[in-house]
Structure 1
Amino acid sequence: MAFTTDIAAKLTRDASSLPQSGLGADRFRRFLDADLAAVHLFSRSARPRATRLLAIAISKLGNGWIYLLLFPALFFGLGWRGWPVVLIAAANAALLHVLYPIIKRRFLRKRPFHVDARLPSLLKTLDEHSFPSGHAMTLTGVLAPMVLAWPAMTVSAAVLVLSMAWSRIATAHHYPSDVVAGIALGAAISWPLSRYALTFFF
């Protein structure tokens, strides 16, 4: 519990919550600085109008609209066998939507554009906290049963996840560590659940 509390304090990027000396503290400060520097790099990629609009569009699709595109594609590939996959994907999304706000309230990490005023937020946020990325987490959870049931879409799923990861950092809403954690948590939770659930249908 103490370890979790310490990490949560560090991820807030509040200097007063970090130990003032020690090898571990220095390494964590360097990690936080590198995380923020990466956001600046991604943010620059969204400065041209075309890529800025793309980043905004992908992020907005992650609010739920992307699933209206994914499910018809799934039915195209699997026919009516896609129904169980849709139900499992929806269950994963519901579970992860319950979990990630709890995790965010635990860590209370400020979004990059709140930490550094030089970073422009390209659109409104759904909540105030950064860690982990709910968009990356839920997209991964929805894609897990789809990939298991229809392996041919593995590459497309990877492209979707990477595109969402880029957009969330480019809009200055998340750090790279946020999206990596979101993807990892989404996969760790939804992959075994999806594999188990699919055994009843396939």
Structure 2
Amino acid sequence: MAFTTDLAAKLTRDASSLPQTGLSGQWLQRLLDADLAAVHLFSRSARPKAIRFLAIGVSKLGNGWIYPILLTIVFLGLGWQGWHVVLLAAANAALLHILYPIIKRRFCRKRPFHVDQRLPSLLKTLDEHSFPSGHAMTLTGVLAPIVLAWPAMSISAVVLVISMAWSRIATAHHYPSDVIAGIALGLGLAFPLSTYALALF
């Protein structure tokens, strides 16, 4: 198991490190190539000035600015009784912020614009590594208790997560697999914890 994990970590560092023989190596290479090709596609979608501005703006919101906005929305929608939802969202964010840097240091995956110089980075990065997407992971974790306590927010939450995922790829900071992993980790941790905690209130 440890060998498999170490091999996966090495493979994600640089596509050139993949073995060129063997079926598994070929499939991994194809997956990484498809991942990078998708980044090029998303990056091209942000070439128009207005779309580029949108991608940068959404990404910057994920740096932290979106969370006071969500807090305000929760209190407007649920009143002061929404305090437990806010506490749960903050606890999820704190837990995920402890977890994702550990995972990033473990895999050490280079960001797309470092792997392919043709990809423009549209803004500064908060850290060096790509996998998983901390923006997607944290936003998903924060939204989990909000959606559980306020189901009417479900569609808005999905739109927010998809927008954040798009922006992180369009800015060439992440691969699709990074944001999918971030969303999955955010859901996998925050959803059961939030479900259990909300049942106690």
User: Which TM-score band (shorter chain)?
Assistant: over 0.9
**TM-aligned CA distance change 1:131 to 1:119, over 3 Å:** same
Aligned: 1:31 with 2:28 = no
Q: Does 1:2 align with 2:3?
A: yes
Partner amino acid for 2:96? L
1:71-112 deviation line (CA, Å, top 9, x unaligned): 111111111121000000000000000000000000000000
Contact persistence 1:13–1:32 (CA under 8 A)? no
Segments of 4+ moved more than 2 angstroms: none
In the alignment, which residue of structure 2 is the partner of 1:54? 54
* Corresponding position of 1:184: 184
Cα shift at 1:28: 0.5
Q: Corresponding residue for 1:173?
A: 173
Task: Tell me the distance in 2 between the aligned counterparts of 1:181 and 1:140.
Answer: 11
- CA displacement, residues 155-189 of structure 1 (integer Å, 9 cap, x when unaligned): 00000000000000000000000000000000000
Q: Distance in 2 between matches of 1:13 and 1:186?
A: 25
For residues 120-139 of structure 1, what are the structure 2 equivalents within 5 Å? 120-139=120-139
Aligned to 2:16: 15
Matched position secondary structure for 2:131: coil
**Residues 55 and 167 of structure 1 are in contact (CA less than 8 Å); yes or no, is this contact kept in structure 2?**
yes
Given that residues 113 and 120 in structure 1 are in contact (C-alpha distance below 8 angstroms), is that contact kept between their aligned partners in structure 2? Answer: yes
- The more displaced of 25-34 and 7-16 is 7-16
Q: Identity of aligned pairs, percent?
A: 74
How far apart are residue 10 of structure 1 and its match?
A: 1.0
Q: Report the CA distance between 1:14 and its aligned residue.
A: 4.3
C-alpha distance in 1 between matches for 2:83 and 2:25: 50
Count of equivalent residues: 200
TM-score (norm 2): 0.98
| Contact in 2 for aligned 1:145/1:195 (Cα 8 Å) | yes
Once residues 186 and 13 of structure 1 are traced to their aligned partners in structure 2, the CA distance between those partners, rounded to angstroms, is 25
Structure 2: gaps (5+ residues): none
Deviations 1:127-164 (A, max 9, x none): 01000000000000000000000000000000000000
Measured on the aligned residues, the alpha-carbon RMSD in Å equals: 0.7
Q: Which residue number in structure 1 is paired with residue 148 of structure 2?
A: 148
Which letter does structure 1 place at the counterpart of 2:69?
L
Q: Which residue of 2 aligns with 1:78?
A: 78
Is this contact kept in 2: 1:130–1:174, CA < 8 A?
yes
